[in-house]
Amino acid sequence: MQSPARQPTYALQQIVQLSRAFEAHLGEQLTVNATDLAAMEHLITSGPLGPGELARRLGITPPAVTAVVDRLEELGHATRGPNPADRRGVVVTPAPASSRKALSLILPMVGDIDAALDGFDEEQQAVIAEYLDRVVAALRPHTTSVHSGTNPPATS
């Protein structure tokens, strides 16, 4: 029998739950579902993407991504336009106003999370960072993508 989880593990569980709640709130504010919100995240962080690349990143089929882009266009969150690298293709571009609105909701939360480190010296912050890196490494094998058979990309 394994030992009960320690307090930091419970705190991480709360972080996961609060992250889900924040994503739900963000989706409500932008009037999008979870898949459309994930698409917006990719578009805002990466810039214009072809529908095929967006489908790959979301782990959905090309017809499903067409429906996602249709909804985002209808809500004014994205536009389709010609692909400058391939005149037969299109790219999906995030609407600047939607990007600003999303970031206006996200950045204060990110700032508050970052400010939580203010009470720790550099050595303590290094320990916290090491612990979180280990948590990510422990979690990664359990999140293998069903669609692509690969792990989500590492971030730094």
Would you say residue 27 lies in a domain?
yes
Q: Is the pLDDT of residue 121 over 80?
A: yes
| Domain hosting residue 63, numbered range | 9-143
- The pTM score is 0.82
Question: pLDDT at position 150, please?
Answer: 43
Backbone angles phi, psi at 31, to 5 degrees: 55, 50
Nearest to 152 by CA among 20, 141, 16: 141
CATH of residue 87's domain is 1.10.10.10
The region of weakest confidence among 82-86, 104-108, 140-144 is 140-144
| Count of domains forming the chain | 1
Would you say residue 152 lies in a domain?
no
Would you say residue 29 lies in a domain?
yes
